[in-house]
């Protein structure tokens, strides 16, 4: 809903400037027209950076609310600092944790994909064979290009022969002279990677549950912190938006107040002799 606003211009002495800013903020002035465009300060920049973080965290929670099913059980959250900034850091850390888990999961899924044609390789037994002076090499080629003579010359043994591709292993003292793609396989068993995948998926699901729980338990706290920071941004901009007159003794401000609240602002101005 768009709310009508009323524009007010203030003429304030430098002595009353700080207390005036606080007062008009409390009685409903929601925006100050910036008369010095581009002016900033460390305080304002810190508040702007914090505002960006609040927006990103709320986006994370909005996505979690839409994408993840809430668990039936109440999720215990280990949040020691329950201030808006503390909860925000928790969400940021949780998001980074999930991202790291997803990277790990992607790597494990690639290892699983590489090993699936071979099944559960017993690497210990292959190490014993290599100790006898044989090289163990893994290859894949189009099934129609697999040559039977490789069996005799290099002990080529198909492990997975399909209509399209044949995966095979060779045992030889020297590097085989074979027209096929040699593969470098992950060093653990397929079953080990599959177990790791299940573990990572469980951790990601737990991260999702915790994100949903933060949204349910602490959304209001974050919104209050976000609003307070937006007010800080407005106040910082007020400090930077005045136009000095009469050698900086008097300052000119332009502010906006929602219609309906302007009477309270005018009463304050009249009572305090502000023009």
Give 140's strand partners: 167, 181
**Given this model, what pLDDT does residue 275 score?**
55
Whether 97 has a pLDDT exceeding 80, the answer reads yes
H helix or E strand, kind and range, residue 166:
strand 165-172
Higher pLDDT, 100 or 268: 100
- DSSP structure string for 142-157: EGGG--THHHHHH--E
Q: Shortest CA distance to 169 belongs to which of 187, 186, 182?
A: 182
Specify whether the CB–CB gap between 129 and 170 falls below 8 A. no
Whether 91 has a pLDDT exceeding 90, the answer reads yes
**Given this model, what pLDDT does residue 144 score?**
95
Q: Shortest CA distance to 138 belongs to which of 153, 149, 154?
A: 154
pTM above 0.75, yes or no: no
118-176 pLDDT, tens digit each: 999 999 999 999 999 999 999 999 999 999 999 999 999 999 999 999 999 999 998 89
**Given this model, what pLDDT does residue 36 score?**
47
**Given this model, what pLDDT does residue 265 score?**
75
14-49 pLDDT, tens digit each: 677 777 777 777 777 665 554 444 445 677 678 788
Whether 249 has a pLDDT exceeding 60, the answer reads no
Please give the Cα distance from 113 to 127 (Å, whole number): 23
CA 85 to chain centre: 16
DSSP state of 37: T
Up-side HSE of residue 55: CA atoms within 13 Å toward CB? 7
**Given this model, what pLDDT does residue 228 score?**
85
Please give the Cα distance from 146 to 161 (Å, whole number): 10
Please give the Cα distance from 105 to 124 (Å, whole number): 26
Whether 245 has a pLDDT exceeding 50, the answer reads no
Of all residues in the chain, the percent with pLDDT exceeding 90 is 56
Whether 13 has a pLDDT exceeding 70, the answer reads no
CATH entry, 1-39+241-275, from 1.10.10, 2.30.31, 1.10.357, 3.30.70 = 3.30.70
**For the chain, domain boundaries:** 1-39+241-275, 42-121+187-228, 132-184
């Amino acid at each position: 809903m768009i709310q009508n606003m009323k524009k007010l211009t203030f003429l304030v002495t430098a002595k009353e400037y700080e207390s005036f800013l606080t007062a008009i903020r409390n009685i409903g002035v929601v925006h100050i027209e910036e008369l010095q465009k581009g002016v900033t300060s460390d305080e304002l920049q810190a508040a702007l950076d914090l505002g960006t973080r609040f927006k990103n965290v709320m986006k994370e929670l909005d996505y979690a609310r839409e994408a993840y099913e809430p668990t039936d059980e109440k999720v215990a959250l280990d949040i020691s600092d329950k201030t808006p900034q503390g909860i925000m850091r928790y969400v940021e850390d949780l998001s980074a944790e999930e991202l790291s888990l997803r990277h790990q999961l992607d790597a494990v899924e690639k290892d699983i994909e590489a090993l699936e044609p071979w099944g559960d390789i017993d690497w210990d037994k292959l190490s014993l064979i290599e100790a006898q002076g044989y090289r163990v090499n893994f290859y894949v080629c189009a099934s129609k290009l697999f040559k039977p003579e490789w069996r005799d010359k290099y002990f080529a043994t198909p492990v997975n022969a399909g209509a399209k591709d044949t995966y095979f292993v060779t045992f030889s003292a020297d590097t085989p002279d074979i027209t096929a793609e040699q593969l470098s396989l992950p060093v653990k068993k397929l079953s080990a990677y599959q177990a790791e995948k299940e573990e990572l998926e469980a951790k990601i699901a737990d991260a999702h549950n915790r994100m949903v729980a933060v949204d349910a338990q602490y959304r209001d706290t974050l919104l209050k912190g976000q609003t307070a920071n937006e007010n800080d941004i407005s106040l910082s901009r007020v400090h930077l938006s005045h136009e000095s007159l009469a050698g900086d003794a008097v300052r000119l401000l332009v502010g906006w107040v929602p219609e309906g609240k302007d009477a309270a602002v005018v009463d304050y101005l009249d009572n305090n002799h502000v023009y």
